């Protein structure tokens, strides 16, 4: 309940009240809610205010609908003279109203050319007028003001039924809306109201006959369809079957169908009229509200002046904005070009970064190789100069020299052999020689020659296999007999 009140307070609210003799029919339309009610009271304004307060409605304005029987609505012909249309209609009112026309509120709308297709149109102008006694309009205004509401329009309630439907251009339709014992008849040519009447709805045969008479008044040879709505619509449809026209429900818009579906109480006819009056927006045709209360409408010369002023303002703004717009387009084009080549630029940047990293790695490798010796030339040299009875168990070297550990038949014979190597100098035993079963265990240390060949950059110092594990000897030179290790095994 509280949530509904919040919607009513902050959502747009359209209120309509229809004066139907001794009762009022009201409708309040909001985005999420539709309220309809019927009031019968001696003081209708006070009862209306109490009803709105009880429902939590706080409208500021109201659209007032009048019963069709309280208003004179008829088509009239104007002479083919040049003049202001409203003054011509005012001049013709005296001949068509049953009450004084001097101060009678009225409005009119032009009618389409009469006659059937293929016949030449009449030279006279036809308009549909709506006029009411001043006392009827004053009563409607006083009711709204006493209920603390501002009237925005005073129309025939049945005329606003057109706001609920989708019409087809050129389709001639007779629409009968029943409310209680009264039926309102509308003749429509597309979206244009051609004629409206108030008929008694007690006798179905008489109702069908009145529809035929109305078609003749509108100068229609026949219609295209008949719509029925309001109270007991099905019974009305059965009574109109002798007309020989398709009788259906009106083609309501989705919004109108939703609003009408919210009506669950009787009488439906009066409530539907109130919903129709509340649903209409904008300028309402045949509006009888006094000119002092009528919303201000610009005349055609005023509209032309406003249009010229608007065009001048638009051109001035365009003159200021066009240069900036051009620059904006150029900047957008440049941004698109930058965005298009940005992936390629990023690829090039990644390639350059990878190249720089590889250059740094190559420089580091060259720097390391410049500070150490290469092991392969040393192994080749030792393979060539060591005798066949020598067996190495460990070989290690660094930038200062090399150290050999192993077994030989005569360890002292290895000293001069190593001294004669162009790679080594200062060859000496690093520890005393020990005698084994048939071999001498030795440990010899030697320094590198100061001027040694193939002193190219190399990897970090390498060590031979651990002591006790047979070292894989270098491949002997061609013609050199294979070495045999302890126990007769080949290395």
**Quick check: 293 pLDDT over 80?**
yes
pLDDT on residue 100: 85
Q: Residue ranges of the alpha helices (H) in 17-130?
A: 44-54, 85-92
Top-ranked range on mean pLDDT: pick from 38-47, 218-227, 318-327, 394-403: 38-47
**Which residues make beta-bridge pairs with 176?**
185, 228
Average pLDDT, integer, range 344-348: 90
**Quick check: 117 pLDDT over 60?**
no
Q: Residue ranges of the alpha helices (H) in 64-217?
A: 85-92, 134-146, 204-217
CATH 3.30.420.40 maps onto the chain at 1-71+133-165+253-320
Exposed, middle or buried: residue 406 (CB in 10 Å: 0-12, 13-18, 19+)?
buried
Q: Quick one: the chain helix, strand, coil %, rounded to 5?
A: 40, 25, 35
pLDDT on residue 150: 93
Q: Which CATH architecture fits 1-71+133-165+253-320?
A: 2-Layer Sandwich (3.30)
**Quick check: 151 pLDDT over 50?**
yes
pLDDT on residue 300: 66
Q: How far is CA 85 from the centre of its chain?
A: 47
pLDDT on residue 38: 93
Average pLDDT, integer, range 284-312: 81
Greater confidence (282 vs 333) lies with: 333
Average pLDDT, integer, range 101-106: 87
pLDDT on residue 380: 87
Report helix, strand or coil for 328: helix
Q: In which band, very low, low, confident or very high, does the pLDDT at 461 lie, cut at 50, 70 and 90?
A: very low
Look up the pTM and report it. 0.60
Report helix, strand or coil for 142: helix
pLDDT digits (tens, 9 = 90+) for 42-62: 899 999 999 999 999 999 999
Decide if 359 contacts 351 (C-beta within 8 A): no
pLDDT on residue 138: 94
Across all residues in the chain, what is the average pLDDT?
A: 82
- DSSP summary character for residue 450: S
Decide if 220 contacts 119 (C-beta within 8 A): no
Average pLDDT, integer, range 432-448: 87
Greater confidence (115 vs 396) lies with: 396
Greater confidence (167 vs 5) lies with: 167
Report helix, strand or coil for 49: helix
**Closest of 44, 51, 67 to residue 15, by C-alpha:** 51
Computed from CA positions of residues 427, 432, 438, 439, in that sequence, does the dihedral angle turn out positive or negative? negative
pLDDT on residue 95: 86
Q: Give the span between the Cα atoms of 240 and 243, in whole angstroms.
A: 6
Average pLDDT, integer, range 401-414: 89
Label the pairing between strands 182-189 and 150-156.
unpaired
Q: In which band, very low, low, confident or very high, does the pLDDT at 114 lie, cut at 50, 70 and 90?
A: low
pLDDT on residue 297: 62
**Quick check: 240 pLDDT over 50?**
yes
Distances (CA, A) of 362 to 238, 353, 359, 454: 103, 14, 5, 20
Distances (CA, A) of 457 to 316, 369, 370, 463: 79, 3, 4, 17
Decide if 185 contacts 201 (C-beta within 8 A): no
- List the structure tokens of 50: 């109490």
For the CA atoms of 16, 19, 20, 25, what is the dihedral angle to 10 degrees?
A: 30
Residue 176 burial (CB count, 10 A): 27
pLDDT on residue 11: 56
**Which residues make beta-bridge pairs with 434?**
441
> Vertex 367, ends 362 and 372: CA angle to 5°?
125
**Quick check: 435 pLDDT over 90?**
no
Q: The sheet that has 61-66: what strands, in order across it?
A: 33-39, 23-30, 14-20, 61-66, 150-156
pLDDT on residue 184: 93
Q: Residue ranges of the alpha helices (H) in 68-203?
A: 85-92, 134-146
Q: In which band, very low, low, confident or very high, does the pLDDT at 36 lie, cut at 50, 70 and 90?
A: very high
Among 142-146, 157-161, 168-172, 436-440, the least confident range: 436-440
Angle of helix 134-146 relative to helix 44-54, nearest 10 degrees, comes to: 40
Q: Give the span between the Cα atoms of 84 and 72, in whole angstroms.
A: 22
**Closest of 425, 390, 424 to residue 407, by C-alpha:** 390
Whether omega for the bond prior to residue 242 falls within 30 degrees of 0, making it cis, is no
């Amino acid at each position: 309940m509280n949530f509904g009140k919040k919607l009513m307070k902050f959502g747009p609210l359209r209120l309509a009240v229809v004066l139907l003799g001794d009762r009022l029919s009201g409708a309040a339309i909001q985005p999420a809610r539709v309220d309809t009610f019927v009031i019968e009271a001696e003081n209708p304004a006070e009862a209306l205010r109490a009803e709105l307060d009880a429902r939590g409605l706080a409208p500021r304005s109201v659209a007032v609908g009048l019963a069709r029987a309280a208003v004179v609505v008829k088509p009239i012909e104007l002479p083919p003279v040049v003049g202001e249309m409203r003054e011509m209609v005012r001049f013709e009112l005296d001949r068509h109203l049953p009450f004084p026309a001097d101060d009678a509120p009225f409005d009119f709308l032009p009618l389409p050319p009469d006659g059937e297709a293929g016949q030449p149109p009449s030279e006279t102008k036809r308009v549909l007028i709506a006029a009411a006694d001043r006392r009827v309009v004053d009563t409607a205004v006083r009711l709204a003001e006493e209920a603390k509401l501002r009237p925005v329009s005073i129309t025939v309630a049945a005329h606003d039924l057109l706001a609920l439907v989708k019409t087809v251009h050129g389709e001639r339709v007779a629409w009968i809306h029943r409310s209680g014992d009264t039926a309102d008849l509308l003749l429509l040519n597309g979206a244009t109201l051609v004629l409206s009447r108030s008929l008694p709805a007690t006798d179905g045969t008489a109702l069908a006959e009145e529809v035929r008479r109305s078609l003749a008044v509108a100068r229609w040879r026949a219609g295209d369809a008949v719509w029925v709505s309001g109270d007991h619509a099905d019974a009305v449809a059965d009574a109109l079957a002798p007309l020989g026209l398709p009788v259906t429900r009106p083609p309501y818009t989705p919004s109108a169908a939703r609003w009408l579906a919210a009506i669950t109480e009787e009488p439906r006819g009066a409530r539907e009229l109130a919903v129709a009056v509340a649903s209409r927006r904008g300028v309402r045709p045949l509006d009888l509200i006094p000119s002092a209360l009528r919303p201000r409408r610009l005349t055609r010369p005023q509209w032309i002046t406003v249009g010229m002023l608007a065009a001048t303002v638009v051109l001035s703004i365009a003159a200021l904005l066009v240069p900036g717009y051009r620059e904006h387009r150029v900047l957008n084009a440049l941004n698109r070009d930058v965005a298009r080549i940005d992936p390629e630029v990023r690829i090039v940047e990644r390639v350059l970064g990878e190249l720089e990293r590889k250059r740094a790695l190559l420089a580091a490798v060259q720097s390391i190789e410049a500070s150490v010796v290469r092991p392969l030339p040393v192994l080749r040299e030792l393979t060539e100069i060591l005798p066949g009875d020598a067996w190495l168990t460990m070989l290690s070297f660094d930038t200062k020299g090399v150290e050999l550990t192993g077994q030989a038949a005569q360890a002292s014979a290895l000293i001069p052999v190593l001294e004669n190597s162009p790679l080594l100098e200062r060859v000496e035993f690093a520890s005393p020689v020990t005698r084994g079963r048939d071999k001498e265990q030795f440990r010899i240390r030697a320094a590198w020659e100061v001027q040694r060949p193939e002193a190219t950059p190399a990897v970090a110092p390498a060590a031979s296999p651990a002591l006790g594990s047979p070292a894989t000897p270098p491949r002997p030179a061609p013609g050199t007999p294979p070495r045999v290790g302890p126990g007769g095994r080949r290395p």
